[in-house]
Structure 1
């Protein structure tokens, strides 16, 4: 009885200390809309979005410019490889969103997914996305 209790306790402690495991297939082929940066709602009219495709190709709209490239997922950290972007001038509000998104993707962010919410926690910002739909 004591051995079974000890084994169960060890298993639970290991599970709790490792956090939620991100399943790659739960991230790929989805379209996510940015809803908040650092807990503050983002203007939905900016239509900041993220799509994660096969082999972690990523693209979307940061603030007013589109971005595209690829990313890696290593030990729960999503990090963009070299991203290409369009170069349109942005209004100040859109530029703030754009800087936060590109900085977080380029520098890497710990991913936490809970159902239809996706959180990317970087060194400077935390981005919260809402699942929009499935991408082919």
Structure 2
């Protein structure tokens, strides 16, 4: 009996720790505004956003440069293909945001979708986005 309880508890914990599965349709046709990096609120004057459209094409503002390309979602992990972007000079604060966004999208991140909030948890950065509107 003890073994059955321990096994059931372990399975339950494993299921909870992976979080709910996110599908492409959960993320498509949404516009997300970046609100925090690693739990620290970003300056509201920096307009960083992410749009995920049909066929999982993505675009947005990284920090001071626009980016666009495509991405994939496999096992709750969002990863962008090499992205194209504009090449304008950024302030140091904008550059820090841009670096975090492009690094996280390019290297892949685990998606935690909480409806109105979405986190992209990467190897160096956790990006927190708020749902802006429907596309």
TM-score exceeds 0.5: yes
Matched residue, 1:66: 66
After TM superposition, the score normalised by the length of structure 1 is: 0.88
Measured in 1, the distance between the counterparts of 2:14 and 2:39 equals 29
Matched residue, 2:127: 127
Q: Deviations over 1:84-126 (max 9, x none)?
A: 0000000000000000000000000000000100100000000
* Structure 1: 4+ residue segments shifted above 6 A: none
1:131 Cα deviation after fit: 0.1
**Contact 2:28/2:53 (<8 A) preserved:** yes
Q: Deviations over 1:10-60 (max 9, x none)?
A: 874564254211132120000000000000001121110000011110000
Q: How many residues align?
A: 130
Q: Does 1:75 align with 2:75?
A: yes
Q: Does 1:29 align with 2:50?
A: no
**Contact 2:34/2:48 (<8 A) preserved:** yes
After TM superposition, the score normalised by the length of structure 2 is: 0.89
Q: Does 1:104 align with 2:115?
A: no
Q: Deviations over 1:60-98 (max 9, x none)?
A: 000000000000101110000010000000000000000
**Superposition RMSD on alpha carbons, in Å?**
1.7
**Contact 2:78/2:105 (<8 A) preserved:** yes
What stretches of structure 2 of length at least 5 have no aligned partner?
Answer: none
What stretches of structure 1 of length at least 5 have no aligned partner?
Answer: none
